[in-house]
Amino acid sequence: MDFSWMAWTLPTAAFFITIFLMLVGMGVWEYFSPGGNPRVGILRFETTRGDRLFVSLLGSAFIHLAWLGLIGPNLWWALALAVVYAIGVFRFV
């Protein structure tokens, strides 16, 4: 099958593979520790680890957009900030 119309590039492929691996990782985590580990964190409502992954990914997307809009096109620092943010979300939310 010819997928050239999808215009794949190495960075976008890496991006989607990372997302896919995260989902697989969450599946494995759920298999060994079922129930989603629900808890009430600093947002004052119950979140499961799936919710925390969603909040991490969505927040990371906005961190990158904010960095692009306010600072510049070098996104490595935005990526670092997003990783710190995601760790914070999984730890405190």
Partner 1 sequence: MEKTWNNKAWLMVLPVLVLVAFSAVIPLMTVVNYSVQDTFGGNQFFWAGAEWFQEMLHSDRFWAAMGRNLIFSAIILAIQIPLGIFIALNMPRKGWGVPVCLVLMALPLLIPWNVVGTIWQVFGRIDIGLLGYTLHALGFDYNYVNDPFDAWVTVIIMDVWHWTSLVVLLCYAGLVSIPDAFYQAAKIDGASRWAVFRYIQLPKMQRVLLIAVLLRFMDSFMIYTEPFVVTGGGPGNSTTFLSIDLVKMAVGQFDLGPAAAMSIIYFLIVLLLSWVFYTVMTNYDVEK
Distances (CA, A) of 23 to 28, 54, 79: 9, 11, 19
Stretch that binds partner 1, among 22-30, 64-72, 85-93 (CB under 8 A): 64-72
When the beta carbons of 35 and 69 are compared against partner 1, the nearer one is 69
Using CA atoms, how far apart are residues 60 and 82, in angstroms rounded to an integer? 5
Stretch that binds partner 1, among 6-14, 22-30, 81-89 (CB under 8 A): 6-14
Work out how close the CB of 61 gets to partner 1 at its nearest, in angstroms, rounded to a whole number: 5
> Looking at this protein, which amino acid is placed at residue 8?
W
User: What is the crossing angle of helices 10-32 and 49-70, to 10°?
Assistant: 160
When the beta carbons of 62 and 77 are compared against partner 1, the nearer one is 62
When the beta carbons of 54 and 83 are compared against partner 1, the nearer one is 54
Residue 45 in contact with partner 1, rule: CB under 8 A: yes
**Are residues 93 and 41 in contact, defined by beta-carbon separation less than 8 angstroms?**
yes
- The sign one gets for the Cα dihedral 20, 22, 26, 28 is positive
Stretch that binds partner 1, among 5-13, 22-30, 79-87 (CB under 8 A): 5-13
